[in-house]
Copies of this chain bind each other. A is one copy, B any other.
Amino acid sequence: MSEKAIQDYYPDEVSHCYGCGRLNEHGLQLKSHWDGDVTVACFQPQVYHCGISGYVYGGLIASLIDCHGMGTAAAASYRAEQRDLDSHPPFRFVTGSLHVRYVRPTPLGPPLEIRGRIKEIKGRKVTVGVTVAAEGRICVTGEVIAVQMPDHMMPGQGDEPTGSN
């Protein structure tokens, strides 16, 4: 598995995301890595990240799927161009859509394993399938459509783009 996380290659100006930005000290700081042809992240929920007591909050899981999906889309785009993650120009994606299916309640306590798999790369859009497992058992499945961030969404640029993350 790669040592430095995919998100740690994001340029500073787009590294404040609450879910995965290394520069957001209040955030979740999710870290995703390549593991062969799939991506993987590990996340330890806090005791207050509960939905019903004893189970992980569904909105937190949606957030992990979101950020892991965007990271996977970026990493896959570099690979498709046979470029390293620190090469230029950088890839950064925002969320077009997010679909989450809660197969079974996710127990709160063990670390969660989030795995991503590229389903399709088409133009500026990448579709990523994601699973979230606890103790080796898949509890949640998801699919995200990631859209390359328009230049005018870059901090300091214009406004009115499409997508959010």
Contacts and interface: CB of A to CB of B under 8 A. Distances in A.
A102 B139 CA distance: 24
B97 A51 contact: no
A19 B61 CA distance: 12
Contacts of A52: 14, 16-17, 92, 94, 149, 153-155, 165
Contact of A59 (B18, B24, B25, B161): B18
A110 interface: no
Interface string A139-165: 110000000010001110000111111
Residue of A13, A52, A101, A160 ringed by the most chain B CB atoms within 10 A: A52
Interface residues of A, number: 56
Interface string A46-62: 10111111111111111
Contacts of A14: 52-53
A46 B24 CA distance: 12
Contacts of A48: 18, 24-27
Interface in A62-100: 62-64, 66-67, 92, 94-100
Given A62-B63, A96-B102, A98-B99, A164 B18 contact: no
Interface of A: 13-14, 16-19, 24-27, 46, 48-64, 66-67, 92, 94-106, 139-140, 149, 153-155, 160-165
